[in-house]
Chain A
């Protein structure tokens, strides 16, 4: 994930809508993918991403650059996703996970298996794994997003890896058996 030019962030902070739009264009994809990973629902991810950027816009003046912009943004996405999931569980409707878009890809089966395995992780393992392994965030940045110590991120990513390797190894064996 590429950190935006600090000058763009500064212009956006001072209320320049064009600069903020530039930030949206550059980061809406990652924000949506993170939201999708957290919510397991593409429609909900749309809402979460929109909410997160609106919230980011609102709080941008209070962003002092003490952390990376992307960490700060991902922390907002995570908060919005948690809010959305809580709200959805209250309404008790449409709780089923949505099918990933573009499901005609040749590696669809593998993608689904990985997606399901990541989804099966406990949230405290899934979130650091996504940030570090999928989005390539350093431990220090992930610790900002998750509000835990760097060492905690490190140990949780490792445990997530162990669980996923075991899970996907089972999936490979099942796939071989079916051939």
Chain B
């Protein structure tokens, strides 16, 4: 009998195959040295692989059940209740795949108040933040209804489809339902794919400033390449998946109490439209849309198990300021309580979308610009930085994502992500004159790092930024920005192998008067009156770079993101940086409007002025500009 056959039988016998070893094979095996060696070796191997220390298995139960909860919520959506025949709510149940994707008409008329329980306003942002890391992929369709866009279009309706795949792949398709065959309905596509993003759609018409403005004047066809990870300049629709930015910007929200929306346990919160801007900005990247008064009320309803938005609405608020705003912006027919926007979830699934849909537009007819960031492995960044890259040992569950540096800079960027949660660390040599210092503007809090780790500076989320912590050390300066909670971010910072030094002048601490600013800057800045509506100045700084001084003031309005004013000596507005920027007329004076950042730039009396009010419309920012002291 051949040894190979016997050894195969010995194998099978070890694995429990009945009758694997025949009498002849047993007889051979008992006398053949090679086969005995094989049997002994095979048994030793089994012992080794089964007895060896088992690897530490992580406890994934909570994470799995959280995701299953979301699946279940999707699966459990009841049959579609059509609101009206024109609503195209899809119901897709693939044969043999139960609950693959079920559309749902979640109508406000279906809200059933539940009594006896009160949702905790404080807990909602925390739940949303905790859910962020678990969202690996997402696809949803929403119906958007907009009121009072113009007299000719009292009600417009849109379909918005959103797709996401962790960590930075997004796609938003917007299409307008238009019954008018002559009209030019909005149809836009925004795609973000890591280092590249593209936007195609109609350009905004700023009718209130440059009337008359033809609706179909021009189109945006823009591609941006070489973008750094998680930059604030890229329009990403994260908030429609989980409203992280809106919650951070709102600071505090008002609980509306639990309700049931078509069988879903829902938690409602009320927040001002200024803070909720990211819930609208994601579908308003192209085309013209109505403005919202920052104080208008947004009611946002979230699935109590998944924290995905089930829908939200905006209603006009009361008050003389609101009435004045409405009169200025052509909404003078609106009354308190009028419904302005209604966004309802039509379908939702957490399957991974096909990768092909995230391919950003090609160059062709698109206007292409580069942000100059190059992806470089962390191991190769030390040469750029001149020292080893400082990395935290506690990543709070995040994983290495993209890293790299800007061309011609010795500042490096290392990022980490999981689901919608992310952390970005910018690092530069201490006192490096060639890069932007990491002093934070705005309301900044010095914080003591645990374990005698020294001092760092914390700035809460706002103004288009996530929460940030600045750390100055002997060799390097770090700026951490993250969607993690403050406690989690503190743990990350505490795990950095550096000691934070106290800044000689705490960032953001230098609030000075106009006269002091003028004395330090060498020119008299143009500042708004106290009653301008942009809120009080919370930070004023004079920065000098290459013998050119500039004034940087942060204002904190009562609602919405902070407003930033930048001024320096100058006779012209710097060259345009994007194809979507437009020249507008401010009561006869030319200015430039950048929709992405809601920034208005102009020159007045030899001073270049840049006013950024993220989330606000051209009309609102123009109105602020006109109130500024030097404006004539």
Closest to B9 in A: A158
Q: Which of A12-49 contact B (CB under 8 A)?
A: 15, 17, 20-21, 24-25, 28-29, 32-33, 36, 42-43, 46-47, 49
* CB contact between B97 and one of A58, A105, A132 (< 8 Å): that residue: A58
Contact A138/B16 with A57-B71, A161-B42 known, Cβ cut-off 8 Å: yes
Closest to A101 in B: B56
CA distance A105 to B51 in the complex (A): 13
CA distance A17 to B73 in the complex (A): 12
CB pair A134 B50 closer than 8 Å: yes
CB pair A24 B55 closer than 8 Å: no
CB pair B61 A158 closer than 8 Å: no
> In the complex, what's the smallest C-beta–C-beta distance from A52 to chain B, in angstroms?
9
Q: Which A residues lie within 8 Å of B72 (CB)?
A: 15, 17, 57
CA distance A130 to B120 in the complex (A): 49
CB pair B58 A46 closer than 8 Å: yes
CB pair A54 B17 closer than 8 Å: no
* CB contact between B61 and one of A25, A42, A168 (< 8 Å): that residue: A25
CA distance A59 to B53 in the complex (A): 33
CB pair A21 B65 closer than 8 Å: yes
State the interface size on chain B (CB cutoff 8 A).
Answer: 44
Closest to A111 in B: B52
Closest to B399 in A: A43
* CB contact between A54 and one of B41, B49, B59, B68 (< 8 Å): that residue: B68
B99 at the binding interface (Cβ < 8 Å): yes
CB pair B61 A102 closer than 8 Å: no
CB pair B52 A107 closer than 8 Å: yes
State the interface size on chain A (CB cutoff 8 A).
Answer: 52
> In the complex, what's the smallest C-beta–C-beta distance from B54 to chain A, in angstroms?
7
Q: Which A residues lie within 8 Å of B57 (CB)?
A: 28-29, 32-33
> In the complex, what's the smallest C-beta–C-beta distance from A145 to chain B, in angstroms?
15
* CB contact between A107 and one of B11, B53, B60, B64 (< 8 Å): that residue: B53
Closest to B400 in A: A94
Q: Which A residues lie within 8 Å of B53 (CB)?
A: 102, 105, 107-108, 111
> In the complex, what's the smallest C-beta–C-beta distance from B401 to chain A, in angstroms?
8
B30 at the binding interface (Cβ < 8 Å): no
> In the complex, what's the smallest C-beta–C-beta distance from A134 to chain B, in angstroms?
5
Q: Which A residues lie within 8 Å of B71 (CB)?
A: 54, 57-58
> In the complex, what's the smallest C-beta–C-beta distance from B48 to chain A, in angstroms?
6
Q: Which A residues lie within 8 Å of B68 (CB)?
A: 17, 20, 24, 53-54, 57
CB pair B15 A139 closer than 8 Å: yes
Q: Which A residues lie within 8 Å of B75 (CB)?
A: 58
A165 at the binding interface (Cβ < 8 Å): yes
Q: Which B residues lie within 8 Å of A119 (CB)?
A: none
Contact A154/B55 with A50-B60, A134-B50 known, Cβ cut-off 8 Å: no
Q: Which A residues lie within 8 Å of B48 (CB)?
A: 110, 114, 168
CB pair A32 B15 closer than 8 Å: no
> In the complex, what's the smallest C-beta–C-beta distance from A141 to chain B, in angstroms?
11
Closest to B42 in A: A161
Q: Which residues of A contact B (CB under 8 A)?
A: 15, 17, 20-21, 24-25, 28-29, 32-33, 36, 42-43, 46-47, 49-51, 53-54, 57-59, 61-62, 90, 94, 100-102, 105, 107-108, 110-111, 114, 118, 132-134, 138-139, 154-155, 157-158, 161-162, 164-165, 168-169
Known: A46-B63, A58-B100, A61-B99. 16 other contacts (CB 8 A): A17-B68, A17-B69, A20-B65, A32-B60, A33-B54, A54-B64, A62-B96, A94-B399, A100-B55, A108-B53, A133-B46, A133-B49, A158-B8, A162-B7, A164-B45, A165-B41
Q: Please list 5 pairs of residues, one from A and one from B, whose beta carbons are closer than 8 Å in the complex, sorted by A's number.
A: A36-B55, A58-B100, A102-B55, A133-B50, A134-B49
The 9 closest A-B pairs by CB, nearest first: A158-B11, A105-B53, A102-B56, A101-B56, A165-B41, A53-B64, A61-B98, A29-B57, A57-B68
